[in-house]
Amino acid sequence: MVVVPLSPSRPSQQNASISVVVPLYIKNAQDSSFLKDQLNTFFTQFHDDLKEKVPFDIFLSDSGQDSKSAARIQQTIDEVLENHSQLIEQVTYHHEPTDGPPLSRSEAMNLGVQRSLGSVLLFLHIDCRLPRGALRDIRDAVSNGAHGGGFTKTYSGKARFSPLHCTEFYLNQMRTIRGRHLVGTNAMFMSRDLALEHPFVGDFLEDVEMSDWMRARLRPGALKIIPKAVTVSARKYQKYGPIPSIAINAAVMILYRLFRVRPSLLKTLLYHRKFPSGLAFWKVWLQTVVSLADRGGKIHGH
Does 134 lie in the same domain as 54?
yes
Does 262 lie in the same domain as 195?
no
Tell me what percent of the residues of the chain surpass a pLDDT of 70: 92
* 169 part of a folded domain: no
DSSP 125: -
Which pTM was predicted? 0.92
Does 251 lie in the same domain as 127?
no
Mean pLDDT on 40-64: 94
Q: What is the pLDDT of residues 214-237, one digit of tens each?
A: 999 999 899 999 999 999 999 889
Query: Given this model, what pLDDT does residue 301 score?
Result: 59
Query: Given this model, what pLDDT does residue 302 score?
Result: 52
Query: Given this model, what pLDDT does residue 144 score?
Result: 96
Domain containing 278: what range?
242-301
Residue type, 278: G
Count of H helices and E strands in the chain?
11, 7
pLDDT confidence bin for 30, thresholds 50/70/90? low
| pLDDT at residue 297 is higher than 80 | no
Give CA–CA dist 108/112, Å, rounded. Answer: 6
What CATH number corresponds to the domain at position 125?
3.90.550.10
pLDDT confidence bin for 9, thresholds 50/70/90? very low
pLDDT confidence bin for 8, thresholds 50/70/90? very low
Does 134 lie in the same domain as 196?
yes
Query: Given this model, what pLDDT does residue 1 score?
Result: 45
Q: What are the φ and ψ backbone dihedral angles of 224, each rounded to 5 degrees?
A: -95, 120
| pLDDT at residue 5 is higher than 60 | no
pLDDT confidence bin for 298, thresholds 50/70/90? low
| pLDDT at residue 290 is higher than 70 | yes
Mean pLDDT on 140-156: 97
* 65 part of a folded domain: yes
In the beta sheet, which residues pair with residue 231?
A: 129, 154
Query: Given this model, what pLDDT does residue 51 score?
Result: 87
| pLDDT at residue 6 is higher than 50 | no
Q: What is the pLDDT of residues 235-271, one digit of tens each?
A: 889 999 999 999 999 999 999 999 999 999 999 999 9
Burial of residue 162, with CB atoms counted within 10 A of its CB: 0-12 exposed, 13-18 middle, 19 or more buried: middle
Contacts of 288 (CB under 8 A, 6+ apart): 251, 269, 270, 273
Does 271 lie in the same domain as 210?
no
Q: How many domains does the chain have?
A: 2
Query: Given this model, what pLDDT does residue 11 score?
Result: 38
Mean pLDDT on 2-28: 65
Query: Given this model, what pLDDT does residue 117 score?
Result: 86
